[in-house]
Amino acid sequence: MALRTLDSLGSLAGKRVIVRCDLNVPLKDGAITDDGRVRASLPTLNALINQGARVIVCSHLGRPDGAPDPKYSLAPVAQRLSELLGKPVAFALDTVGESAHDAVAALEDGDIAVIENLRFNAGETAKDDGERGAFAAQLAELGDALVSDGFGVVHRKQASVYDLAEILPSAAGFLIEKEVEVLDRLTENPERPYTVVLGGSKVSDKLGVIQHLLPRVDRLLVGGGMMFTFLAAEGHKVGSSLLEQDQLETVKGYIATAKERGIELVLPVDAVVAASFSADAEHVVAPATAIEDTAFGASGLGLDIGPDTAEQFAAVIRDSKTVFWNGPMGVFEMAAFAAGTKTVAKALTEVDGLSVVGGGDSAAAVRQLGFADDEFGHISTGGGASLEFLEGKKLPGLEVLGWQ
């Protein structure tokens, strides 16, 4: 069965439409530091507003443990949404209480309101079906239909994502529709050569995706903290770099599988090795096979791919027709160790084909390093959700919308 889309709900003029967005944005001192997820929700919200729907936006933010916590309030998000939409956005001070009901009752056709953080209610994330269902029933009182558009949470069986979609007529918004279409292209008949670039700190976070994609890709590029487990699996010493000893045998298996299948596994040839984990640490570039031969000896730790590796990765990426990238190449938050990630990101903007940035830290990195979203084919809004999709897992928030 195909995903139910907005068209399946018919005319929504005058209807109260709950939109489950993922507005889980990073905040610093109450200010949004990256509004990418807010911007990603705009096409669906504008389409509903233009139809004359009465729009009720709901989302989570952070992990407030089922009770109100002012530092996780969606108030700054409602304010930013108002600025981006160019119209007033009402804000309810609770989720299913008096303030929410009053805000919804006051809506006229084409108006929009945001209700407070869903996770201020324990029922949103409850493991107990009854508790979750009871909260979903309270949410359902606010609306006539549900548009699910928070791709970052479709891998979670939560009240607003799963149970609410079973109570109200429901469909996917434009964001989820686009995410599913793009990620499906990465698993079913991708244009070749197909390259997957994996980084981030741990191999264990990517086990499923490596296993599922390895038979489908032409090239696998490995950087970030996880590269040291690959280097160690090949018998090299990695100093004090991040190393998952318990994954060495698994990684040896991946290396053997790549060889058997003729998949080009590209590992770093050099690394930026530092004396300590700090922004101003003394650092040098060393061959990936000689990390302990620097002045830092066995205490040196790799914090980025080296310049030769970055250029090699960039050349492979530019020569590809389909590229999926998940996980930074180094500690990009520190300027001294951001070059590898920046070079890889730049190469993705030059792909003659489909380039996909796989959410989470990768999405944060490209924005922090000064790239615009539209320089890439697609920036996923869901790190964990996009990885689980690519692992071939069943995602409850998609299944409930008809996706098989």
User: Exactly one of 39, 178, 202, 318 is catalytic; which is it?
Assistant: 202
The answer to whether 89 and 77 have CB atoms below 8 angstroms apart is no
User: Exactly one of 360, 377, 382, 383 is catalytic; which is it?
Assistant: 360
Residue 16 marked as a ligand binder: no
User: Exactly one of 4, 16, 20, 37 is catalytic; which is it?
Assistant: 37
Residue 63 marked as a ligand binder: yes
Residue 24 marked as a ligand binder: yes
370-377 contacts: CB < 8 A, separation 24 or more? 371/345, 371/346, 373/36, 373/39, 375/349, 376/348, 376/349, 377/182, 377/351, 377/353
Kindly list the distances between the CA atom of residue 388 and the CA atoms of 147, 156, 327, in Å, as whole numbers in the listed order: 22, 11, 14
How far apart are the C-alpha atoms of 268 and 260, rounded to whole Å? 20
Residue 301 marked as a ligand binder: no
Residue 61 marked as a ligand binder: yes
User: Exactly one of 36, 97, 110, 384 is catalytic; which is it?
Assistant: 384
Tell me which residue of 282, 298, 281 sits closest to 290, measured CA to CA. 298
| Catalytic residue flag (residue 37) | yes
Residue 360 marked as a ligand binder: yes
Residue 367 marked as a ligand binder: no
| Catalytic residue flag (residue 110) | no
Hunting for tokens 């100093």 — which residue is that? 239
Residue 133 marked as a ligand binder: no
Residue 359 marked as a ligand binder: yes
Tell me which residue of 390, 391, 324 sits closest to 355, measured CA to CA. 324
| Catalytic residue flag (residue 202) | yes
Residue 45 marked as a ligand binder: no
How far apart are the C-alpha atoms of 199 and 305, rounded to whole Å? 10
Residue 278 marked as a ligand binder: no
How far apart are the C-alpha atoms of 206 and 208, rounded to whole Å? 6
Residue 302 marked as a ligand binder: yes
How far apart are the C-alpha atoms of 219 and 223, rounded to whole Å? 13
| Catalytic residue flag (residue 392) | no
Residue 39 marked as a ligand binder: no
Report the catalytic residues. Answer: 37, 202, 360, 384
Residue stretches of the annotated binding site for substrate:
22-24, 37, 60-63, 119, 156
Residue stretches of the annotated binding site:
22-24, 37, 60-63, 119, 156, 206, 302, 333, 359-362
Residue stretches of the annotated binding site for ATP:
206, 302, 333, 359-362
